[in-house]
C-alpha cells in the first residue's frame, strides 16, 4: 500500500471517529454551574446597592451527552442523567420556551412578593395564559403549541386581577363535554383563532380541558425593576431575586458583608419551593466563596413519597451533600421569604 493511500485511509478513519464521537446519546450531563451575584441581573431605579456582601443565584450546567462526552460522568461532581428525566416529553424547542417562561414568571413573582413584603404595591398586566402542555389525546393536538399565549377563551380574558382569573376558571368548570372552545391565541407575532371540542374526563365525568397553562404577566412597579437574564433560565432563582429586590427597596442591609448563596422558587404567598440539582449548586456556591447557603425546606407529601420512596427535601439533600464534601458552609432551611429575611437579619 502506497504512502498516499495510507494517509487517505488514516484521514477517513479520523473523520469517521470524529463523527461517531459527536453522536448524541439519550442522556444529559449535569455539573456545577455559576454562582453569580443577583445584583448583576437586575437594576432598580433610584436604588443604590451600598450593602456590602453578596446574594448569589446558583445554576446547574446541563449539556447533551455524546459518545465522546460520555466519559465526563466519571469526573468529580458530574452526573449522567436520562434525558427523559430532564426534558420529559418536550422537544428541545418546547423545553427552552418553558425555561424562558419560567424565568420571566419567577421575575414577576419576585417583584410582586418583594414589594408586598415591603408594604408597596405593583401594577399587573396579564398578557394571557402561557401554554405549558398540550394533551396528545385532545382536539387541541396539532392546533395549540407549547409557548402559545391564549389571550381569550370564548371571548373571555384572564384579566389583570386574581378575581377575574377565578371567574374564567369558574366559567370553564361549568362547561360540558362536546362544547366547542374558541381560543384567541398569539404565536410569535401572529394572532389566530383556534377551535376544538372538549372531551369528557373519564375519572370525574366533567370536562378535560386538553391543555395546561400558567398566567403570563408583566409587572410595573415604583421604583421600577429591570432584569437582564444573562442567558440564565428556569424558576430556581426566585427566592434570591426576591431577597435582592426586597433588600434594595427597603435598605435592610441583609447582606451585611456576608457571601450568601441560595436557591428555591418563590410563590405569590411567599412560599419557597423545591428545585433540582441542589448538590451541584452547593459546589458552585462553595467555589464562589459563599459562607451561607439558603435551601428550600420543602414539604414531602404522602403522594410524592408513594411515587418516589427515597425522596428527600432539598434541605436534607444539601445537608448530605455538604457532609460528603466536608464543607463548613452554614446551611439554613427556609420555607418562606419571611424566614429567609429573619435568618439574614440574624447572621
Q: In which residue ranges of the chain is CATH 3.30.230 found?
A: 27-120+223-345
Q: Phi and psi for 236 in degrees, rounded to 5?
A: -75, -10
**Mean pLDDT: which of 141-145, 159-163, 262-266 is highest?**
262-266
Cα distance between residue 264 and residue 165, in whole Å: 26
| Helix (H) / strand (E) containing 265 | strand 265-266
Answer yes or no: is pLDDT of 12 > 80: no
pLDDT score for 16: 66
Answer yes or no: is pLDDT of 267 > 70: yes
| Helix (H) / strand (E) containing 306 | helix 302-307
Cell numbers of 93, please?
Answer: 424547542
CA 256 centroid distance within chain? 28
Q: In which residue ranges of the chain is CATH 2.30.42.10 found?
A: 123-218
pLDDT score for 1: 60
Each residue's pLDDT tens digit, 124-136: 999 999 999 999 8
CATH number of 123-218: 2.30.42.10
Answer yes or no: is pLDDT of 151 > 90: yes
Each residue's pLDDT tens digit, 51-99: 899 999 999 999 988 878 888 888 899 999 998 988 888 888 899 899 9
Rg (CA), the chain: 24
pLDDT score for 9: 66
Cell numbers of 42, please?
Answer: 437586575
pLDDT score for 269: 96
pLDDT score for 8: 67
Q: What is the mean pLDDT of residues 278-289?
A: 97
pLDDT averaged over the chain? 91
Cell numbers of 298, please?
Answer: 420543602
pLDDT score for 256: 93
pLDDT score for 309: 92
CATH class of 27-120+223-345: alpha beta
Amino acid at each position: 500500500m502506497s504512502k498516499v493511500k495510507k494517509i487517505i485511509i488514516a484521514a477517513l478513519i479520523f473523520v469517521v471517529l470524529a463523527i461517531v464521537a459527536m453522536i448524541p446519546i439519550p442522556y444529559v450531563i449535569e455539573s456545577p454551574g455559576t454562582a453569580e451575584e443577583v445584583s448583576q441581573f437586575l437594576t432598580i431605579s433610584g436604588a443604590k446597592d451600598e450593602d456590602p456582601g453578596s446574594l448569589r443565584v446558583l445554576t446547574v450546567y446541563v449539556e447533551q451527552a455524546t459518545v465522546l462526552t460520555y466519559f465526563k460522568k466519571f469526573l468529580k461532581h458530574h452526573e449522567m442523567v436520562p434525558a427523559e428525566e430532564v426534558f420529559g416529553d418536550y422537544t428541545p424547542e418546547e423545553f427552552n420556551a418553558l425555561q424562558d417562561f419560567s424565568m420571566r414568571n419567577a421575575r414577576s413573582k419576585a417583584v410582586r412578593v418583594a414589594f408586598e413584603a415591603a408594604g408597596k404595591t405593583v401594577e399587573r398586566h396579564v398578557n394571557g395564559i402561557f401554554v405549558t402542555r398540550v394533551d396528545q389525546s385532545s382536539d387541541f393536538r396539532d392546533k395549540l403549541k407549547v409557548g402559545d399565549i391564549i389571550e381569550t377563551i370564548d371571548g373571555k380574558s384572564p384579566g389583570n386581577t386574581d378575581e377575574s382569573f377565578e371567574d374564567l376558571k369558574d366559567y370553564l368548570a361549568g362547561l360540558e363535554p362536546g362544547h366547542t372552545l374558541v381560543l384567541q391565541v398569539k404565536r410569535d407575532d401572529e394572532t389566530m383563532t383556534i377551535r376544538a371540542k372538549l372531551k369528557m374526563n373519564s375519572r370525574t365525568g366533567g370536562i378535560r380541558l386538553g391543555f395546561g397553562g400558567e398566567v403570563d404577566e408583566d409587572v410595573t412597579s415604583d421604583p421600577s425593576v429591570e432584569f437582564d437574564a444573562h442567558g440564565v433560565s428556569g424558576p430556581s432563582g426566585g427566592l434570591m431575586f426576591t431577597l435582592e429586590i426586597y433588600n434594595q427597596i427597603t435598605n435592610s442591609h441583609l447582606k451585611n458583608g456576608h457571601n450568601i448563596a441560595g436557591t428555591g422558587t418563590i410563590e405569590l404567598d411567599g412560599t419557597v419551593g423545591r428545585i433540582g440539582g441542589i448538590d451541584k449548586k452547593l459546589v458552585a456556591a462553595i467555589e464562589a466563596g459563599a459562607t451561607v447557603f439558603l435551601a428550600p425546606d420543602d414539604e414531602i407529601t404522602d403522594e410524592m413519597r408513594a411515587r418516589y420512596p427515597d425522596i428527600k427535601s432539598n434541605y436534607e439533600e444539601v445537608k448530605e451533600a455538604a457532609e460528603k464534601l466536608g464543607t463548613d458552609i452554614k446551611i439554613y432551611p427556609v420555607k418562606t421569604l419571611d424566614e429567609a429575611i429573619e435568618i439574614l437579619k440574624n447572621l
